[in-house]
A and B are shown apart, each in its own frame.
Chain A
Amino acid sequence: MSNKTNNTPLIIIGAVVVIAVIGGWWLYSSGNSAKKPSTATNTSTKSNASEAFKTAPAGAEPSWSKGAANATVTIEEFVDFACPQCAKTTPIVQQARAAYGDRVRIIFRHFPLDIPAHKNAYDASRAAEAAGIQGKFWEMENLLFKNQSAWSPASLNPRPIFEEYAKQIGLDTVKFNDDLIGMMTTSRVDKDKVRGRALNVSSTPSVYLNNRLLGIEDITPDNLKKLIDAELAKTQAPVANPAGNSNSNVSANQ
């Protein structure tokens, strides 16, 4: 066997390494460029959702929301409590709302997915609603996302865990357990789902900013801020004031 032959596999391995590095870098770079916030132009297909808003059912009313009802920017998010991405993006949306005070309103919508892995998501939505009846919706929402991995495995019965959370936030657990399986909570979750379906929601988080569906890459602190600024600029001077009046009009409506 000549030296030339012996070197051939090493040359091939070297070439594969080079191709892998270049290919990987190209994928990495193109992935990063896709993280820029979407514009009105490149989300024109997504903006078709605006048409659906005219005919979609209202969802549970009154909705769970924060911010002034007449806010310039309304962010409506369809959320599945068992979805790991929802656990990441929901705080981002809420922080953005807090930063803009009265000018931004967020509306929370349940959209528990009908998939085996998210078997407990529907009960989680009802648990949040049951907590809401006692005025602790947002506290329960926070606990559910924070402890998602503890209750979301489909093999678990999540209700004892939800009861524990209810205790933690000072709820009447007897009433909480009754409400969790009650008609009112079920009806509210279902109404949100019906609205989501009418808007062609098929994945979570589905976030609409002034009736325009955002891409998942838009829901980062920076990108969301740019999009909100752009919306504000259409009606007023685009002043993002993260320090200003963050809690002046925060309310859990219902």
Chain B
Amino acid sequence: MNELSEKYSNKFAIVASVLALIGMGDAIYLVVHSLNGDQIPCGLSGGCGAVLSSKYSEIFGIPLAFFGFAAYFIAFCLALLTAFRNSKLWNLFGLQVFFMVCFSAWLTYIQAFILLEYCQYCLVSAGVCCSLFLVFLISKLIKK
């Protein structure tokens, strides 16, 4: 990596770290919500009640928020280590974020076409995933 691209890569990695932290915060809220067994009423405005109570909200009995938290934490670590000049991890970060975006797209599809309801916390997570991937793509474009 030349000096210019490395400089940009570091900046992008720092931005990605901050975004991953936002995603972690969102995921922590949902993890705690599921641990508490909180009840969410169904409202005229729809929303999280329908989404977080649906069968799509967990895999093998484990709430998706746990996986989300783990994914954001790994993304945060990779971005942070990249920011501190371990630039080989940046591509690994890109690969992981690519899978996160794909999974978020699937979950957004479920909300839009199967559940017909949106949960704002899930949409925030999808937005953060897309932003992370966008940061990675821009960093690669600038490198070229």
Binding site for B on A (CB under 8 A): 1, 5-6, 8-9, 12-13, 16, 20, 23-24, 27-28, 31-32, 35, 80, 82-86, 88-89, 113-119, 149, 153-155, 202-206, 216-217, 219
Decide if B39 touches A118 in the complex (CB within 8 Å): no
Judge whether B84 is part of the interface by a CB distance below 8 angstroms.
yes
Residues in A whose Cβ lies below 8 Å from that of B73: 20
A76–chain B nearest beta-carbon distance, Å: 16
Residues in A whose Cβ lies below 8 Å from that of B114: 153, 155
Interface residues on B, range: 35 or more
Residues in B whose Cβ lies below 8 Å from that of A149: 55
Q: Closest residue to B54 on the A side, CB-wise?
A: A84
Binding site for A on B (CB under 8 A): 21, 24-25, 28-29, 31-33, 35-36, 38-46, 49-50, 53-55, 73, 76-77, 80-81, 83-85, 114-117
Decide if B46 touches A117 in the complex (CB within 8 Å): yes
Q: Closest residue to A13 on the B side, CB-wise?
A: B77
A77–chain B nearest beta-carbon distance, Å: 12
Decide if A117 touches B28 in the complex (CB within 8 Å): no
Q: A116 with B117: in contact, given A1-B85, A9-B83 (CB under 8 Å)? A: yes
B93–chain A nearest beta-carbon distance, Å: 13
Decide if B28 touches A20 in the complex (CB within 8 Å): yes
B8–chain A nearest beta-carbon distance, Å: 19
Decide if A203 touches B81 in the complex (CB within 8 Å): no
Decide if B41 touches A85 in the complex (CB within 8 Å): yes
Decide if B81 touches A204 in the complex (CB within 8 Å): no
B89–chain A nearest beta-carbon distance, Å: 10
Residues in A whose Cβ lies below 8 Å from that of B44: 113-115, 202-203
Residues in B whose Cβ lies below 8 Å from that of A86: 42
Decide if A203 touches B76 in the complex (CB within 8 Å): no
Decide if B32 touches A16 in the complex (CB within 8 Å): no
B53 in complex: contacting residue of A16, A32, A84, CB < 8 Å: A84
B10–chain A nearest beta-carbon distance, Å: 12
A125–chain B nearest beta-carbon distance, Å: 14
Residues in A whose Cβ lies below 8 Å from that of B81: 9
A115 to B47, CA, bound (A): 10
